[in-house]
Amino acid sequence: MPEKGLFTVRCPDAFTAQNGARVVVNLDYGLDLAELCDVATFDPARDGAYPPGFTLVRLAMPEDIIAATENEVKARELREVFLAAARRVVPEVRVPYVRLSLGGGRLFVRYVCDRMRPDLRSVISDFRRERHVGVSAWQMGPRDEVRVMGALGQCGRVCCCASWQQKYPGGLTSDSLKSLGLNSAALNGVCGRFKCCLAFEREAPSQ
């Protein structure tokens, strides 16, 4: 975050907390919640020539958690507004993920569309002007959509990407699958792409 990534912030000298603690950070768009991964002394050789520009403000308070919970409801409401406006421009767009920043000033949107890089600039501009909320929108692929929404694979278990898989395996192409004697639409997962588990079968020794 944003969005669910790793970033570095300045930490007050007297700050102490265990890894995994929820903290409030001041980013370029205002305050937001984050999870503490590690605290270390700044090392220019390792971290770059300049110290981080963002700052850790404090440990999250109960009122911050309450605000974040209320923001989840607001974000779902804003999602419907954004989606309706986006579909007037790009009818096939879908929005599986939204989140409001802690202060409510930034809406993070992940959308899915069969069209690459649909032009939603007018939608974002109108949304910002009418709702007084900035929008950070990213296009995600169908595999990412399943990862966010969750689904059951044809094996009957939760899809690997939605349960344990950290990244999508590479090297899954029609040619690589043909080398295994596999060539069927049944090889597609619920996302419509080649099943990720085929990569494990490709790596497994033949019997």
* 151, amino acid identity: A
Token pair for 49? 């020539």
Is residue 194 within 8 A of residue 188, CB to CB? The reply is: yes
Question: How much is the pLDDT for 207?
Answer: 46
Tokens 């669910």 identify what position? 4
**What residues does 106 pair with on adjacent strands?**
134
What are the helix (H) ranges across the chain?
44-47, 62-89, 121-131, 142-149, 160-163, 174-178, 198-203
Taking alpha carbons only, the member of 27, 35, 53 closest to residue 106 is 27
**What residues does 59 pair with on adjacent strands?**
23
The number of beta carbons lying within 10 Å of the beta carbon of residue 61 is: 11
- Whole-angstrom Cα distance, residue 90 to residue 83? 10
Token pair for 58? 């404090």
**pLDDT < 50: residue spans in the chain:** 204-207
Report the CATH fold assignment for 65-140: GMP Synthetase; Chain A, domain 3 (3.30.300)
Token pair for 61? 């308070």
Taking alpha carbons only, the member of 163, 162, 161 closest to residue 196 is 161
Does this model's pTM top 0.75? My answer is no
Residue 186: DSSP 8-state: G
Residue 170: DSSP 8-state: S
User: What stretch(es) of the chain map to CATH 3.30.300?
Assistant: 65-140
State the first-to-last Cα distance of the chain, in angstroms, to the nearest integer.
Answer: 44
Q: Which residues contact 52 (CB under 8 A, 6 or more apart)?
A: 7, 8, 9, 10, 42
